C-alpha cells in the first residue's frame, strides 16, 4: 500500500514537472461502463455491469508519452446465484487512477497503450469487502480530436474486470 501511494505521489510530481516541459494540457470529464467480478469466490457467478464517472487532467510529455490522473466515482460489483435467486453485490469507490500512456501522434488520431495503477476508498461499502481497493489496469486507447476512448482490464484487491471509458478533453 505504501508503494502505491509513493507511486501516486511520484506521478503527481511528474505531472507538475510536465507543466514546465509541455504546453499541451487538457482538463476533461469522463465516464463509462464497468464489467466487474468479485475476487471472493463465493460471490463470483458472473459479471455485474456498473459505471464510472469523474474528472481528468492530461499532460502530454515528449516522445509520445502522457500522464493522466483521474478522480472517479467507480461502482463495481458481482452477481451471485443462490438457490435459483440472483443476488447483486455492489460497492461504490472514490478512486484515484493515474494513467501512464505512450503512443505516436498521427495528426488525425493518437493510438496508445496504457498502464494505470489505482487506489480507491469505498464510499458505499458492502460487507465482506475491504474499504480500500487498489490495483493496476492495462489497456489500449485512442484520441480523436478532443475525445478519448480507453478499454482497460483492471486487477484489483477486491474486484477485477473490464472498463470502457469515454473522455471529453477541454
What is the rounded average pLDDT of the residues 139-143? 97
Q: Is the pLDDT of residue 23 over 60?
A: no
Q: How high is the pLDDT of residue 87? A: 84
Fold of 2-169: Porin (2.40.160)
Q: Which of 42-51, 69-78, 118-127 has the lowest mean pLDDT?
A: 42-51
pLDDT digits (tens, 9 = 90+) for 80-107: 877 778 888 899 999 999 999 999 999 8
Question: If you count them, how many residues does the chain have?
Answer: 170
Q: Is the pLDDT of residue 158 over 50?
A: yes
Q: Find the farthest-apart pair of alpha carbons in the chain and give their distance in angstroms, rounded.
A: 60
Phi-psi region of 13 (alpha: psi -120 to 50; beta: other; left: phi over 0): alpha
User: Alpha carbon 129 to chain centroid distance?
Assistant: 19
List C-alpha distances in Å: 16 to 7, 45, 58, 69.
14, 43, 11, 12
Q: Are 129 and 78 in contact (CB under 8 A)?
A: no
Domain boundaries, the chain: 2-169
Amino acid at each position: 500500500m505504501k508503494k502505491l501511494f509513493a507511486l501516486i505521489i511520484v506521478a503527481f510530481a511528474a505531472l507538475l514537472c510536465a507543466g514546465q516541459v509541455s504546453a499541451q494540457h487538457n482538463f476533461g470529464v469522463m465516464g463509462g461502463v464497468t464489467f466487474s467480478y468479485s475476487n471472493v469466490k463465493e460471490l463470483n457467478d458472473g459479471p455485474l455491469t456498473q459505471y464510472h464517472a469523474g474528472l481528468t487532467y492530461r499532460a502530454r510529455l515528449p516522445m509520445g508519452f502522457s500522464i493522466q490522473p483521474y478522480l472517479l466515482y467507480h461502482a463495481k460489483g458481482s452477481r451471485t446465484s443462490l438457490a435459483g435467486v440472483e443476488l447483486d453485490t455492489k460497492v461504490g469507490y472514490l478512486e484515484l487512477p493515474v494513467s501512464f500512456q505512450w503512443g505516436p501522434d498521427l495528426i488525425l488520431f493518437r493510438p496508445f497503450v496504457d498502464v494505470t495503477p489505482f487506489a480507491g476508498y469505498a464510499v458505499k461499502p458492502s460487507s465482506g469487502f475491504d474499504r480500500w481497493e487498489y490495483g493496476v489496469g492495462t489497456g489500449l486507447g485512442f484520441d480523436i480530436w478532443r475525445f478519448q476512448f480507453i478499454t482497460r482490464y483492471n486487477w484489483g484487491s477486491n474486484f477485477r474486470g473490464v472498463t470502457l471509458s469515454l473522455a471529453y478533453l477541454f
